[in-house]
Chain A
């Protein structure tokens, strides 16, 4: 069963590119919290995340984001203002500074300049705001990208392999930067979908991790003996694990889960991420013509 109030609800959704299925038609739902999406390069993670961000249309089926049918123009337009999206190796204009990137985003998100400056402070880039993005360290540059993507305080944030550059560094400073960024990412919005090439990088701090391979989404089950390669999520202050399948309770309007302390919204300047996710997947979905897999909605909840 898929809860209707999940942030992302896919029904028979299939994604194709270049004549092949990146995701075969499937039904699943993603509720609150940080959900990881892992898979090797080229498997279609970026395309799937862009579909979640409504920037691509699914090839088949229906995709509801934050309660709106993205196949409908009005619904898609209404929900886009509530989504934050940072593509992999996000780009910026030549000579653009962090401040300019955030201001540029703020214009399109209809956020006033003072509010944009507050966001920069909260993301810890106020001191570097006038430095060109190309000259900033990767972690500060990522903070600027996150600030631009989330300047409007979205309800759903989709991040395409944001820590890739830092993982490639493999230095102590990079590990420290990753440790600082993980709680920041977790607190960006009530629902955060983040991707990485390897699931073990996501498992320690994501509520659930899905792996995408050969057109199918599967739940990642970490091996008990596998050592963690990334810092783990710090202890949540006031957060409540919220599994929709168990409670069926909808999230609070301002993004905090039911039962969470008042005002515990996902603000990066707060002491730690306030919430954890609930993810629910029903896999696989039987495509009408393919005749494989189980019927829609018959998958087990997570």
Chain B
């Protein structure tokens, strides 16, 4: 083992480092686990969770680093009287604390990645996102440790943790571009959108350059090395450039992103976002009866497609569009069927129907629900007495009135039988 390796091994036995790894790992895993969206595995959201975990991990890591800098100076009487650079000891401490933080962050990342992969992950893991989170954590470690070196008082650790916590807490997701500064406060990424790689790169650059600026400034002051002014100026310039780019982003961390859908093709074709492929069987079961009942009408559809939440729902050209919530909360398949049925109505004429109640009678049948009580009991009993085939036939005939919410009592009467004329030649 090299002499440096032996020194690092000895320093690694310090209490702060032994405490830091399990403490940060535990906090990170609990934070990430609580943030995971149940039932959905979307890599971009896993990246958001990782970066979000740094909002809690960072202040704790900064506090631990400051505590290490304040308390663990037992061997400084050997380190300070050295022909080496006066910053050597501090840099080695920083390297060890950074390694401890990275071990913890790496463990949290692995847990989140495995959990996401096991749930049929959609999208792709973002190395830039992971890097941005790691850089933000390193910035906290460096800032906390150097604060502890500069103000070696026990209260420094508490103050550092409080300041870092406040910096993370005051910036809520989506408020402004300030929220994008590390540790970033990112909103949950909706399906059909993705994190912008440029924003993640700027965040990583901001944190890395900020860390480099702090360390270089400390070394330059401690070692009185004027030559460090050049890299320090470069690091500050990089921080400024990253700040300007994040400001220019307008606070939007996500952008629309097409996704190759996951589909089932029989008896209908149903396509959803790949993150929600687990919803396909339930959707197929729920939507098929409606599609069957609408068969032969202008509202007939053989294809169901999930659309982004911002797009309107339609049933046209044999395709019905639906919206699904990312979390697939219970009843999502029934809500999808209801969406299709709602899309069948003409919104203008249905706003004030002439004969309210008749359409609800048909809706209940289409959705497989119990028929409601309406004023016209005759029509209701007549419709209830029809078998499935007759109702479909009736709907094919009266679809236009149904769509306009213009159904009335006459539409439920049996067709008048006209007298049958016998041809003369048969007489």
Contacts and interface: CB of A to CB of B under 8 A. Distances in A.
Interface of A: 53-55, 73-74, 77, 80-81, 83-87, 90-96, 100, 103-110, 113, 148-149
17 contacts: A53-B77, A55-B77, A55-B81, A80-B80, A81-B81, A81-B82, A84-B81, A90-B77, A91-B74, A93-B75, A94-B13, A104-B78, A108-B78, A108-B84, A109-B78, A113-B3, A149-B78
B396 interface: no
Nearest to B9: A100
Given A93-B14, A94-B15, A95-B13, A109 B4 contact: no
B77 A108 contact: no
B3 A107 contact: yes
B312 interface: no
A93 B13 contact: yes
Given A54-B81, A93-B13, A94-B13, A107 B75 contact: no
Contacts of A92: 74-75
Contacts of A53: 77, 81
A108 B74 contact: no
A72 B80 CA distance: 16
Nearest to A83: B81
A55 B10 CA distance: 23
A196 B74 CA distance: 21
Contacts of B15: 94
B187 interface: no
Nearest to A105: B78
Interface in B1-51: 3-4, 6-7, 10-11, 13-15
Nearest to A154: B81
A31 to B, nearest CB: 21
A107 B75 CA distance: 12
A48 to B, nearest CB: 15
**Contact size range, B:** 20 to 34
Closest 5 A-B residue pairs measured CB to CB?
A: A91-B74, A81-B83, A108-B82, A105-B78, A73-B224
B88 A108 contact: yes
Given A94-B15, A103-B3, A110-B83, A85 B77 contact: yes
A91 B75 contact: yes
A103 B82 CA distance: 14
B83 A104 contact: no
A107 B77 contact: no
Nearest to A74: B224
Contacts of B76: 55
B217 to A, nearest CB: 16
Given A73-B224, A92-B74, A85 B11 contact: no
Nearest to A96: B10
A148 B77 CA distance: 10
Contacts of B153: none
A85 to B, nearest CB: 5
DSSP class of B's interface residues: helix, strand, loop or mixed? helix
B4 A107 contact: yes
Contacts of B86: 77
Contacts of A148: 78
Contact of A87 (B13, B77, B84): B77
B247 interface: no
Nearest to A72: B224
B404 interface: no
A83 B88 CA distance: 18
B408 interface: no
A98 to B, nearest CB: 13
Given A73-B224, A92-B75, 10 more contacts: A74-B224, A80-B83, A90-B77, A94-B13, A104-B75, A105-B78, A108-B89, A110-B82, A110-B83, A149-B78
Contacts of B10: 93, 96, 100, 103-104
B198 to A, nearest CB: 43
Interface string B286-300: 000000000000000
B391 interface: no
A109 B83 contact: yes
Interface string B330-371: 000000000000000000000000000000000000000000
B171 interface: no
B11 A93 contact: yes
B79 interface: yes
Contacts of B88: 108
A73 B89 CA distance: 17
Contacts of B78: 104-105, 108-109, 148-149
A92 B224 CA distance: 29
Residue with the greatest number of chain A CB neighbours at <10 A, chosen from B11, B15, B75: B75
Contacts of A85: 77, 81
A96 B6 CA distance: 12
A104 B77 contact: no
B276 to A, nearest CB: 52
Contacts of A100: 6, 10
Contact of A80 (B7, B14, B81, B89): B81
A95 B12 CA distance: 12
Interface string B107-138: 00000000000000000000000000000000
B84 to A, nearest CB: 6
Residue with the greatest number of chain A CB neighbours at <10 A, chosen from B4, B11, B79, B81: B81
A77 B81 CA distance: 8
B224 to A, nearest CB: 5
Nearest to A87: B77
